[in-house]
Amino acid sequence: MILPVIMAGGTGSRLWPMSRELYPKQFLRLYGEQSMLQETVTRLKGLEASEPLVICNEEHRFLVAEQLRQINQLSNNIILEPVGRNTAPAITLAALSAIDENYDPLLLVLAADHVIEDTDAFHQAVQNAIPFAEQGKLVTFGIVPAGPETGYGYIQRGGEFSGYSGPVFRVQRFVEKPDLPTALQYLETGEYYWNSGMFLFRAKRFLQEMATYRPDILDACLKAIETSQPDTQQAFIRVDKAAFMACPDESVDYAVMEKTTDAIVVPLDAGWNDVGSWAALWEVNNKNLEGNAVTGDVFTHNATNCYINTDEKLVAAIGVENLVIVNTKDAVLIIDKSQVQDVKKVVEFLKSNDRREYRLHRESYRPWGRNDNVVNTLRYHVNRLTVKPGGKSSLQMHHHRAEHWVVLSGTAKVSLDDKTYLLTENQSTFIPIGSQHMLENPGKIPLEILEIQSGSYLEDDDIIRIKDHYDRC
């Protein structure tokens, strides 16, 4: 049985303004009908695989849990990294969490933010890799290159194994991202593949190699996992923060794959793309006769080869070509497709000026639902809250702000100091400064609330949580 290990960390800043620190690209619907994480999990159907083990940042835990719940794949299977320490520690945590005396699964390590267009070819490559992983080999999947790409590392293949259902090779060497002349040479030889960062190996075999080549990482992960705290209610596995922070930051390629003598590469030709830029996203999306890939309310005239994505406003593009136009609720990006790598300069500017747009969307997701910050001024905020059925806020109070709640749809259960009462559509209530209060959706449909906050200080650190159902501080 295969245990998929899906790495869902990272911030995806190259796809700003849609991808942000607290809502990165793996949780967005950029290609297909679901989020990229959900597409990665759904792609496993047809393989003999168990529910996945997902590794993510602590700050993204409720996003991951909700997206797994939506596709019926949530079962105490989320490992929370208190800090990012690259892929070698992440995979080590997964391997340590998976094994016991009688269970040594094949770990299929995948990234949550890759596009694979041909699922059948992906499944066949995994099947080709299984016999070698079962023999104790460490298999990586090499992408058959579509061109002389300078943004990826490469894998040079060695001798081929004969007598198997598909092509499988020894790994000759891993090489860093090349310049263009070198990439052209690699392409001409036919011996090189793009390094996908996907792997298949036995959990215990991987840990043996970690013990050989990076015992310091293994020891730190052992200490972190020994005191892990499963949270069956919220589906999280929490590792010890202090122990994990002491772990070296290292990729699995550097830690093990470039050193082991048992590395195998299986070619994968399945329409793979890591969607590392807006230009890459334009390439994988469906385009109209003018070469435009459009999402949302878009009008074009004499526009060609553009990527246009709008959240809710109409975007009209006339007489332009080769542009990326991305409109979200609080930011607009317009950039030439040839310059998309410079999106990072916008993110750097926002960070250096302490602007919230690099980190947060106007609409943010909470364990109880979501909050759309419609108006944000110094003295008052207007929010549209959507509380999912069964969702509830913490029991809390504020020293500096009062709140006024108006029910737009659904039924609200309000706890205010020593009173509890229900509100329905067009009814409202006032929450005075200093009062203990909680909002809950006891119904079967989403609860929509218009919330007006007013006061001298409206930041989140004025939320004094008395009791929280989601283990937030």
Q: For the segment 25-80, what is each residue's pLDDT rounded down to a tens digit?
A: 999 999 888 999 999 999 999 999 999 999 999 989 989 998 999 999 998 899 99
CATH number of 2-273: 3.90.550.10
* pLDDT attached to residue 230: 65
The H or E element that residue 402 is part of is strand 401-409
Pairing relationship of beta strands 138-143 and 192-202 according to DSSP bridges: antiparallel
Token readout for 450 is: 């218009």
pLDDT at 358 over 60: yes
Confidence of residue 227 (pLDDT cuts 50, 70, 90): confident
Q: pLDDT digit string (tens) for 137-153?
A: 999 999 999 999 998 99
Cis peptide before 17 (omega within 30 of 0): yes
Listed residue (4, 10, 275) closest to 117, CA to CA: 275
Domain layout of the chain by residue ranges: 2-273, 278-346, 363-467
Most confident residue range from 274-283, 300-309, 352-361, 365-374: 300-309
Looking at every residue in the chain, the average pLDDT score rounds to 94
3-state secondary structure of 396: strand
Pairing relationship of beta strands 332-336 and 323-327 according to DSSP bridges: antiparallel
* pLDDT attached to residue 241: 92
Q: Which residues pair with 421 in a beta bridge?
A: 414
pLDDT at 449 over 90: yes
CA distances 82 to 56, 68, 241, 365, Å, are: 9, 20, 6, 19
* pLDDT attached to residue 340: 95
* pLDDT attached to residue 234: 62
Q: Which residues pair with 380 in a beta bridge?
A: 454
Average pLDDT over residues 366-375: 92
Q: At what angle do helices 215-226 and 203-213 cross, to 10 degrees?
A: 120
Q: At what angle do helices 203-213 and 87-98 cross, to 10 degrees?
A: 130
Please state the CATH superfamily assignment of the domain spanning residues 363-467 in this structure. Jelly Rolls (2.60.120.10)
* pLDDT attached to residue 469: 84
Share of the chain above pLDDT 90, in %: 87
If you search the block for the tokens 């930051």, which residue do you land on? 249
* pLDDT attached to residue 473: 62
| Torsion over CA: 289, 292, 297, 298 (sign) | negative
pTM strictly above 0.85: yes
pLDDT at 255 over 90: yes
CA dist 369 and 366 (Å) reads 5
Confidence of residue 244 (pLDDT cuts 50, 70, 90): very high
CA dist 197 and 105 (Å) reads 19
Share of the chain above pLDDT 70, in %: 99
Q: Which of 78-92, 219-233, 296-310, 370-384 has the lowest mean pLDDT?
A: 219-233
Confidence of residue 11 (pLDDT cuts 50, 70, 90): confident
* pLDDT attached to residue 333: 98
Q: Which residues pair with 309 in a beta bridge?
A: 295, 326
3-state secondary structure of 26: helix
CA distances 314 to 18, 311, 327, 338, Å, are: 17, 9, 9, 25
Q: Measure the CA dihedral 285/151/354/245, to 10°.
A: 110
Q: pLDDT digit string (tens) for 281-307?
A: 999 999 999 999 999 999 999 999 999
